Amino acid sequence: MRHLLLILLALALPAAAQTAIPQTPAAAPSEVYRSVVRIEAAVQVPDYGTPWNSGRFGGGIGTGFVIGKNQILTNAHVVSNARRLLITVHGSPKKYPAKVEFIAHDCDLALLSVEDFSDFESFPVFDIGGVPELESQVRVIGYPIGGQRLSVTRGVVSRVDFSSYSHSRADQHLVIQIDAAINPGNSGGPVLQDGKVIGVAFQGRRDADNTGYIIPTPVIRRFLKDIEDGTYDHYVDLAVSTFPLFNGAMRQALKLPNDDTGVLVTNVVPKGSCDGHLKPGDILVAIDGNPIDSAGQILIDGAKIDLNEIVERKFAGDTVQLRYRSGDTWHDEDIELKPLPQNRMYAIQYEVQPRYIVFAGLVFQPLDTNLFATEKFDDINVRRLYQDYLPEGVFTERKDIVILTRIESDPINSQLNGFTGLAVDKINGETVRTLDQAHELLHPENPPEFHVIELMGARRPLVIPSAEVDAANERIQRTYAIDQLSNLEE
C-alpha cells in the first residue's frame, strides 16, 4: 500500500432514507450558501488502554450540505464517535439537533438528518455532477478553522489519482487533488463546478501548501447507491496483490512480450473473491475487457487509473471478468465479487466499545489497529500475526488474536510481571481462536484446579489457582473501579 502523509480536515476527534440523486434547477450562488451547513460534533473516543472506562470527550467542527429531503451529506470523520450533533445554517444562530442515518468509514462519507426539516424545505438542493477535467476551476465552500461564517475558496484540479483515505488508514479509492486552500473545518463541504457538486472536501497534506483532496462523485454515487436498501454493505475486494512488470529481464524470464502489458499476481487472500481462481505467479492482463498496463493501471474516461477502480464501482454479487495467464494457459473467467471483512483488522474502528476480559487482574483484548496504535506492541510474534492476518490467512485459524495487554496488580498475580504485550496461544490446553472462546475457557462450568495460560514467546505459562479467582475479581473490581469484567460484543 502506498503511504501518504495525510491529515483529516475536521477538528472532530476519531469518533432507509431516500437516496436518489436529485435533479433541480441551478440556484444563484448566494442561495446555495443556505444549503451548506455548519456541523458541531461532541464526541467520545473509546479508551483502549483501560477498555472498561467510558473514554475521553472532545469535539470539533465540520461542514455538510443538503442533497435531498432531510439528507445532509458530510464526511464520516466529522461525525465519528459522536454523542451529539448540532447543525447551524448560514446567517442563522439557531442550532438544529441532527443524527447519523448512514456512515461509511471506508470511504469517509456519512448521511445525516435533522429532527425537524421544515425550516430547510425551501433550501436549494445540490446536484451531483461528474468528474472534473484537469486544470478546470472548482469552488470550495465550508467552515474552515471552526469559523462561524462561510468561507469560499477557488482552485484548479491538479490530479486525479487512486490513493489512501486517512480516516480508516486501510482504504484506497479514487481521489481528486486540488490547489484550493482547504483547512480544518472544511471537511464535508461541497466542491462545486458549474453549480454542481464534483466532490466532498476531506483531507490534506502536512508536507505541502495549498494542496487538498476531495472525494469524487463516483465514490459519492456508490455510497448513495449502496444505502438505498437501508443498510451500508461496504466495498467488495479482488483480494489479490500484484507487482508491476516494468523490468525487461523479468518479463523475458516470465516469457512475456515487451509490450508494457500485465502485472504479476503475488498473493491471493484465502476466502477472498479470487481464491480458487488466481494464484501467485499468474499474469493478470485485463479486467472487464480493459487492458492492464505494467504499472497495474487501466484507461477509464481518458485517464489512467488503478485497475481496482473497476471493482470499486461494483457491489457484492456482481462479477468481474479477468483475463490472465496461469502457467502456459490463458484464461478468461468471470469472478463473483464479495466483501473482505477481515480487512478491517487494519482499519481504525469507530462507534464501537473495546472488547476485553478481566480475569484475576489479567486483561485480554483482541488485536486490531485501534489497540495496536494505543499499545505499540514490539513483540515479534504479535507483529507477525498482525501483518500476516489477512495476506497469509491467519484469520482462518484465529478470528481474534487475543493479547494480554495489562495486569492489574493483585496478590493473585504478584509473580506474573513481564508477560504483557504477548499473544495468547492456549488456555487450559485449548488453542484460543476468539475472545468469546477465551472467556468460555476461563469460566468453565467445572473449573480445573489451576488455569494454565500459554503465551506465544513466553518461557513459561501463567498459572492461576481457580479457587482464588472469584475473590480476586471482587477485589480488582473494587480497587480499579471496573464496572464490568468483560465486554464481548462486537
What are the two backbone dihedrals, phi and then psi, of residue 473, each rounded to the nearest 5 degrees?
Answer: -60, -40
User: Cβ of 254: how many Cβ atoms within 10 Å?
Assistant: 14
The cell for 182 is 482547504
The Cα angle at residue 23 between residues 86 and 159, in degrees rounded to 5? 75
Dihedral of the alpha carbons of 374, 106, 232, 487, in degrees to the nearest 10: -10
Query: What residues are labeled active site?
Result: 77, 108, 187
Q: Are the CB atoms for 271 and 257 separated by under 8 Å?
A: no
Is 70 in a helix, a strand, or coil?
Answer: coil
DSSP assignment string, 334-350: EEE-EE-GGGGGGS---
Question: What is the C-alpha to C-alpha distance for residues 107 and 76, in angstroms, rounded to an integer?
Answer: 8
The dihedral sign for the CA sequence 309, 310, 313, 315: negative
DSSP assignment string, 263-332: EEEEEE-TTSTTBTTB-TT-EEEEETTEEPBTTSEEEETTEEEETHHHHHT--TT-EEEEEEEETTEEEE
The cell for 93 is 444562530
Which amino acid, residue 87? I
Residue with cell 492482463: 285
Q: Are the CB atoms for 465 and 449 separated by under 8 Å?
A: yes
The Cα angle at residue 401 between residues 397 and 402, in degrees rounded to 5? 130
What are the two backbone dihedrals, phi and then psi, of residue 188, each rounded to the nearest 5 degrees?
Answer: 90, -5
Question: What is the C-alpha to C-alpha distance for residues 61 and 149, in angstroms, rounded to an integer?
Answer: 12
Segment (H or E) for 29: helix 29-32
Q: What single-letter DSSP state applies at residue 387?
A: H
Question: What is the C-alpha to C-alpha distance for residues 142 and 22, in angstroms, rounded to an integer?
Answer: 21
Q: Are the CB atoms for 186 and 143 separated by under 8 Å?
A: yes
How would you classify the pairing of strands 71-74 and 109-114? antiparallel
Which residue(s) pair with 73 in the sheet? 65, 111
